[in-house]
Structure 1
Amino acid sequence: MSGPDRPGGLPVLLPFVAPRSEARLRPAHAWLLCGLGTVALPAWAQAGTASLPPLEVVLKWAPLLLTGFAFNVAISLMAMLLGTLAGTGLGLAMLAEGAVLRRVAWAVTQVFRNVPWLVLLFFVMFLVPFQVTVFGLRVPLPDWVKATFGFSLPVMANVAEIVRGAVRSVPTTQWEAAESLAFTRRQILWRIILPQCAKRMLPPWMNVYALIAMATVQASIVGVTEMLTLTAQVHAAEGGRPELFAPLYGFALLCFFLYCYPIDRLTARLERRFETR
């Protein structure tokens, strides 16, 4: 613009100065920026985490996944303990002199041996109550307890068949010699026959344990938080990246292999040593 005292001067463009009322940041705008920052920062942090290489992601979550694997091992050990105790009694019941007891024990063994383990697991999970009352005291039954009991049922049936087969494999001359020495049937069974059956039962018993240890991952289907469940949760926490699927589940596969393979080799070694093949 031309000044009043410069009638012939060139027009001059003055710098733009915003009014003070418009230059200030309004409170509504400040709250809007804060809200956008609150939403954007977690997204940025998640994007930074998702950029980790697959190996670093596995190493990052390895302690948590190994905790879940230890829970799998604990479930397998407890199921094996319960199943061995119950299976020993069931196997001896199949050798009882009474025909009724022998047939009932045989029927129970065949049912639990020839039913899928996952079906037994669902059977126990949905039919066993969430809590029981003992002498007026309520005892909760969490999912992992019911899953342990569900896994112990096929163990019981397989151990019963192992006990029956081991006792039957002892030569009848052992029974006849013990009877000639005036031993009772119970004394013959517990003092003479079963001690000889220990080495016959050990290799197949270890095979059953290896199978139950690998089958504990089925507990994830019924809501038990074990290694497979944690692996799926970790994969989801990392944004569900497709390239993490194989490393995470491969880590679970490696853990079970390193645990079960030595059991398999030890079983084969015991079979060769005891000559039970």
Structure 2
Amino acid sequence: MIAALIAATPFLAQGFALNLAISALAMGLGSTIGAMLAALRGSGRWWLSGPALFATSLCRNVPSFVLLFYVAFLLPVEVDLAGRIVTVPLWIKATVALTIPVVGFVSDQAQGYRRQRSAGDTQAGATFLVAWLQYLLIILMASSTASVIGADEIVGRANRLIAQDQRPEFLLLTYGYVALWFIVAGLAASWLLRRVTGWARGS
């Protein structure tokens, strides 16, 4: 069984690369939109700050697992681009779903950053970066749920391996191996967080 998993490692690694891509895109898009909402919230105009605050609250409070199913059904399976039918990949739907909670998170964090800067806190940027990196790890873990809508990430690929060898011990070993990928990613993120924190204290 171990030999089979070792042989399947490149196959699983390609799936984990998709997890990383989903997470990076969700954080990038969500951070951009969240920063825009934060700017609207701080504009001082109620007709801008009110809707921005409502949008932030909506993005922040809807569970990402629910959003996966909602977005999967909301977005079309295919789109017509200049007469050419293009299939919408399931990983894009997962990315959109995970972008939404990032929007709410960054909107709130950016507001906190502005308040800290206004109060003269020189560590505001480092605090924001640490929180952002922590949330990136959360989104990476959440990306594993993309398999429920059929995205071809590491958990989905692990399920395909298990379908070929349905022994309970192989199931446990395979999921344990997949968990190890996320644990290693978490340890790498923790190391990076310590570096960022050390840099913040030294600056």
Task: Verify: 1:171 aligned to 2:106, yes or no.
Answer: no
- Partner AA of 2:32 in structure 1: L
- Of the three residues 193, 200, 203, the one matched with 1:267 is 193
Aligned ranges for residues 99-248 of structure 1 at < 5 Å? 99-133=46-80, 138-172=85-119, 197-238=124-165, 240-248=166-174
Match of 1:51 in 2: none
Contiguous gaps of at least 5 residues in structure 2:
none
SS in 2 for 1:132: strand
1:168, 1:205 → 2: CA distance?
17
- Structure 1 residue 121 displacement after superposition: 1.4
SS in 1 for 2:51: helix
**Larger relative contact order (Cα-Cα within 8 Å, sequence gap ≥ 6):** 2
Cα 1:169–1:143 change in 2 (3 A) is same
- Partner AA of 1:250 in structure 2: G
2:45, 2:198 → 1: CA distance?
36
Contiguous gaps of at least 5 residues in structure 1:
1-53, 175-192
Cα 1:134–1:242 change in 2 (3 A) is closer
The answer (yes or no) to whether the contact 2:123–2:200 under 8 Å persists in 1 is: no
In terms of fraction of residues, the more helix-rich structure is 2
- Structure 1 residue 197 displacement after superposition: 4.9
1:83, 1:162 → 2: CA distance?
12
2:28, 2:155 → 1: CA distance?
23
- Structure 1 residue 170 displacement after superposition: 1.4
Q: Which has the larger radius of gyration?
A: 1
- Of the three residues 44, 68, 83, the one matched with 2:15 is 68
- How many residues align? The count is 201
% same residue = 31
1:154, 1:212 → 2: CA distance?
9
- Of the three residues 24, 39, 46, the one matched with 1:92 is 39
SS in 2 for 1:150: helix
- Structure 1 residue 136 displacement after superposition: 5.4
Per the normalisation by structure 2, the TM-score is 0.90
The answer (yes or no) to whether the contact 1:131–1:138 under 8 Å persists in 2 is: yes
Aligned-pair Cα RMSD in Å: 2.1
Q: Give a deviation string over 1:44-76, Cα, whole Å, max 9, x none.
A: xxxxxxxxxx21121121111111111111111
The answer (yes or no) to whether the contact 1:210–1:264 under 8 Å persists in 2 is: no
2:6, 2:83 → 1: CA distance?
48
The answer (yes or no) to whether the contact 1:94–1:103 under 8 Å persists in 2 is: yes
- Of the three residues 249, 252, 256, the one matched with 2:178 is 252
Cα 1:134–1:232 change in 2 (3 A) is closer
2:10, 2:82 → 1: CA distance?
41
1:135, 1:92 → 2: CA distance?
36
Per the normalisation by structure 1, the TM-score is 0.67
The answer (yes or no) to whether the contact 1:72–1:217 under 8 Å persists in 2 is: yes
